[in-house]
Amino acid sequence: MGIFSKLFGKRQADTAEQARVGGMEDFMTLIRVYYQSVMASQLGISNINLLPDMAVFKRTLKVATQNNKLGIAEKARCKKMLSDIYGLSDSFFKEIDFSVKKNCKNMNDIKTYLFMFQGFSQDLMMVVANLMQWKFRVPSIFKKAMRTMTEKTVHDIFTKNSWKDEGVRKTCANIRQYQHTLHYSESWISEYVYNILMLAKKEPKPKE
């Protein structure tokens, strides 16, 4: 637990039950580290203070800078951790690399991109939660069934036009716009959503 508690800022008061290595917080932090590493390597960012999550990751795990260029070694180390812990596919990382390359041409683009990705993630998970309500009760051991249901829900978001809930229809339209700009495929989105859902099911329930 040592490295993870330092890396992801776990409170010392957290109990072993609450602080779950490889949980939701860890996953989202590593995702941010990967994005920042890609941006650093592609844009040649030399000021590590502009990349707070990657900076903590680098210092905590003592990742040596490769070829005097930030982002290269950090990206490789982060990718390995995400693959080993969560089983993310190689194509998942390639789509992130491509998305950042298409949208981030200079430093000014980074803030816009991250803001857009945050909006995309929030809208996506809000609609998924709405559409998959009862399916969240499916036991975690039925991973194949959960992945199939996730893929179907994501496909509906991008192809279905008749929704009973007007709010869902509008949010789906927003998600499609985000997808067009971010250049993420349905399979990438399904993999991203599936991992978040499975981690959410494992999170300890808050005590009443």
Per-domain residue ranges for the chain? 1-88, 113-208
For residues 51 and 36, the answer to whether their CB atoms sit within 8 Å is yes
Mean pLDDT across the stretch 173-178? 96
Task: Point out which residues pair with 66 in neighbouring strands.
Answer: 69
Position 9 scores a pLDDT of 43
Orientation angle between helical segments 24-43 and 107-131, nearest 10 degrees: 150
- Which residue has tokens 């690399």? 97
Instruction: Return the higher-pLDDT residue of 205 and 122.
Output: 122
Place of tokens 């005097």: 68
- Which residue type is seen at 204? P
- DSSP 8-state assignment for residue 134: G
Burial class, 56, CB count within 10 angstroms (exposed 0-12 / middle 13-18 / buried 19+):
middle
Residue 118, pLDDT above cutoff 90: yes
pLDDT over 90 percentage in the chain: 67
Beta bridge partners of 57: none
pLDDT digits (tens, 9 = 90+) for 40-86: 999 999 999 999 999 999 999 999 999 999 999 999 999 999 999 99
Judged against a pLDDT cut of 60, whether residue 18 lies above it is answered with: no
Q: What is the DSSP string of 68-102?
A: TBTTHHHHHHHHHHHHHHH---HHHHHHHHHHHHH
User: Would you say residue 5 has pLDDT above 50?
Assistant: no
Q: Does residue 184 have a pLDDT over 90?
A: yes
Residue 154 confidence (pLDDT): 95
Q: What is the pLDDT of residues 138-162, one digit of tens each?
A: 555 567 888 899 999 999 999 999 8
* Whole-number Å distance between alpha carbons of 132 and 193: 12
| Confidence at residue 10, expressed as pLDDT on a 0 to 100 scale | 42
For residue 47, the tally of other CB atoms under 10 A from its CB is: 10
With contact defined as beta carbons under 8 Å apart, do 91 and 150 qualify?
A: no
